[in-house]
Structure 1
């Protein structure tokens, strides 16, 4: 189904078969199934790890250690990567327009799922701390210490297959949505 509405830029086809304009996102275009599937297929650290470890699993692990009120944000904190891929942190500042595109998509994700427009500080801190767990469990010894290594979060990586990561992610989001409605 081709859209007749004028949009900025070109579109990508998502897992569900829908059109998505990364440079002109709309909250109504965000689909949980597309996010879950894409994040389950994306390997963290641009694949430079010992074992496959998906962004979806990373998000589920993060959601398990934050306060219940932040679970949905933790699960969806990397949702823009479903549409823009997982760009390594050291590269992002050098990609003109990337942070803006990422920010626009995340605003749409926040609107679509009823989240605050900005990521809670607790989620950002946990996201930074999980780097230490991931590095020590799934990366080769670094030639020099990483500049952003801090206190580990204390999670154990599970190395889910993409199929399991997608399923676990969807179940965790559904549970977090029910939890958020009850609050």
Structure 2
């Protein structure tokens, strides 16, 4: 195991994290993502990253569904930074890559997100724009049409339960420790 560089964070379950696969726990990811609002909170009602992740996962063939569920899992440790802001945060992309590497290794995912997951994510984004966002001053530059899913935002505890249920379905051999 490599030496820890820098400080660490405490997770909701009281664990220590700074990105090692052995320090990644699905309970911590589910809890954090369920409590983070998409779009930096600028949607019309609270809508969590956890619920978004389940919708993306459900939209994918089974072989990509776990990747879809965990595609934003780094945000459990780094928060959901809106896309237009990320390029202006020095070091963010490197931190995001390090955390995603640990998550991919921990859950046996390919180290690069499959294109089909990226497309599903952007199609869900189009649904979110139409259902959860106020009318804007200009149109969004969406590359893909909406998926066509109805989004009924859930409170954090329900989103967390939904996320963990989807994880149990996709990774039945993984142990979930409260």
Q: Select 2:21's aligned residue among 27, 47, 51.
A: 27
Q: Calculate the TM-score normalised by the size of structure 2.
A: 0.93
Q: What are the ranges of 5 or more consecutive residues in structure 1 without an aligned counterpart?
A: none
RMSD: 1.6
Q: Is the 8 A contact 1:42 1:54 kept in 2?
A: yes
CA–CA distance in 1 between the matches of 2:84 and 2:119? 18
Instruction: Give the Cα separation in 2 of the matches to 1:65 and 1:6.
Output: 39
1:51 maps to 2:45: yes
Conserved 8 A contact 2:34-2:157:
yes
1:18 alignment partner in structure 2: 15
Moved over 6 A (4+): none
The partner residue of 1:41 within 35, 40, 50 is: 35
Deviation, 1:147, is 2.1
- Where in structure 2 are there 5+ consecutive unaligned residues? none
> Is residue 132 from structure 1 mapped to residue 126 from structure 2 by the alignment?
yes
String of CA shifts for 1:4-35, please: whole Å, max 9, x gaps. x95211111101101112xxx10000010000
- Please point out which of 51, 55, 71 is paired with 1:77: 71
Give a deviation string over 1:45-104, Cα, whole Å, max 9, x none. 000011110000000011111111111000000000000000000001111110111011
Q: Tell me, in whole angstroms, the C-alpha distance in 1 between the residues paired with 2:110 and 2:173.
A: 16
User: Helix, strand or coil: the match of 1:58?
Assistant: helix
Distance 1:122 1:142 in 2: 28
Partners in 2 of 1:146 and 1:9 — Cα distance? 38
Q: Secondary structure at the match of 1:117?
A: coil
Contact conserved, 2:50 with 2:160, CA < 8 A, in 1?
yes
Q: Distance in 1 between matches of 2:61 and 2:80?
A: 25
Instruction: Provide the C-alpha distance between the structure 2 equivalents of 1:150 and 1:139, rounded to a whole number of angstroms.
Output: 17
1:155 maps to which of 141, 146, 149: 149
Report the CA distance between 1:150 and its aligned residue.
Answer: 3.0
Within the alignment, does 1:87 sit opposite 2:81 as a pair? Answer: yes
Aligned to 1:8: 5
TM-score by length of 1: 0.91
